[in-house]
Amino acid sequence: MKLLEVRNLKVFFPIKDKLFGKPDKFVKAVNDVSFHVEKGEIFSIVGESGSGKSTIAFTLMGIYRKNNGDIVFNGKKIENIGDFDLLRKRIQIVFQDPDSSLDPRKRVRDIIGEGLKIHKIGTKAEINRKIEDVVEKVGLTQDILKKYPHELSGGQKQRVGIARALILEPELLILDEPTASLDVSIQAQILNLLVELQERLGLTYILITHDLNLVKHISDRIMVMYLGKVMEIGSTAQIMSGPLHPYTKALLASVPVPDPEKRNEDEETLTGEIPSPLNPPEGCPFRPRCKYSMDDCWNELEPIEMKERIVFCHLYKEHENSGGV
């Protein structure tokens, strides 16, 4: 069952050369992206910085406004600000940096319970019971409720962020680089907690990350993005064992290995810098950095479906059998 469908999503940010007047340029942060998320799965979005991963997350939350495209949640099209206001109880987000996402002036009890108060859910006694219950679920003790964020460790802060997201009992949880700002020793603990909560509560996750080792262990499906465009979508097993797009191959080749001498010399490597989203390349955005670049790569390409996966690459045009996502 599809919990979320995103169709032809575009999110552009205007750039003005002058204080007044119409914008002269646009940053094409997300440019015609389509995907879906099945209920109960962990769907990962990976790519370099600037690929549009977090922009998608913030657009789903209503933080950014879309320029075009459809967002459908549980069969209902989300079309205006009022729809996003209602949706916020059903989609929640865990931010990358707990230090900047937790209000330093509030105690943990107030931070976790804020969503219930905003949406006017429950009496004071009911809110307190829910706060105490969710704190236990994320592995914290009750005495932490009277503390301020600066009194907590990095791992405790992220657990508070997770508790704040869970208290509204969302159906979809967006994880924006949830372990990136934590010590390595704490990352595994938070990751294990998230997997346990997903299984126990029947949650659906969208995981935003650049860490391919992370998605390899917990994801069901992966969407690879580059410069606001989708490069490839497939199951984790498919993409990790047999990537199709040259960019996906280069991403996997960039993952550190214990013994570099065992690395395959024929593996793809990323060279050059990611182009500016103000002036993206024509056709395939990866074309300037791809060693397989050809004349056809200057043209836009519809999604090619191959063995239950999607790839945007002219190398596979002869295998095309469907344009659906």
pLDDT at 263: 55
Structure-block tokens of residue 72? 């459908």
Tell me whether residue 163 is in a domain.
Answer: no
Identify any residues that bridge with 26 across adjacent strands, giving them in sequence order.
Answer: 14
Q: Which pLDDT score is estimated for 325? A: 44
Look up the domain containing 229 and give its range.
Answer: 2-90+170-319
Token pair for 166: 């869970």
Residues forming a β-bridge with 12:
28
Q: What angle do CA 234, 265, 224 make, to 5 degrees?
A: 20
pLDDT at 257: 66
Question: Span 145-152, mean pLDDT?
Answer: 95
For 218-259, what is each residue's pLDDT tens digit? 999 999 999 999 999 999 999 999 999 999 999 888 776 666
Q: Which amino acid is at 257?
A: V
Q: How many domains does the chain fold into?
A: 1
Q: Is residue 234 part of a domain?
A: yes
What separation, in Å, do the N-terminal and C-terminal C-alpha atoms of the chain show? 15
175: pLDDT strictly greater than 70 = yes
Give the side-chain half-sphere CA count within 13 A for 103.
11
On whether residue 195 sits in a domain, the answer given is yes
- Average of per-residue pLDDT across 24-30: 88
H or E element at residue 221: strand 221-226
Global pTM value:
0.90
Residue 210 lies in a domain: yes
- Do 191 and 214 touch, CB atoms closer than 8 A? yes
| Residue whose C-alpha is closest to residue 207's, from 179, 183, 184, 234 | 179
Confidence band, pLDDT 50/70/90 cuts, at residue 134: very high
322 pLDDT exceeds 60? no
Residue 275, domain member (yes or no): yes
251 Cβ contact list (under 8 Å, min separation 6): 46, 47, 48, 212, 224, 243, 270
Residues 40-69: pLDDT tens digits? Answer: 999 999 998 889 999 999 999 888 999 999
φ, ψ at 286 (rounded to 5°): -85, -5
Give yes or no for residue 217 having a pLDDT over 90.
Answer: no
- Give the per-residue pLDDT at 265: 54
Phi, psi of 109 (to 5 degrees): -55, -45
Distance in angstroms (rounded) separating the CA atoms of residues 304 and 311: 5
Query: Is residue 158 in a domain?
Result: no
- CB contact set of 59 (below 8 Å; sequence gap of 6+): 9, 11, 30, 65, 66, 71
Q: What does the DSSP assignment read for 124-188?
A: HHHHHHHHHHHHHHTT--GGGGGS-GGGS-HHHHHHHHHHHHHTT--SEEEEESTTTTS-HHHHH
For the domain that residue 289 is a member of, what is the CATH number? Answer: 3.40.50.300
- Asked if residue 146 belongs to a domain, the reply is no
Domain assignment present for residue 111? The answer is no
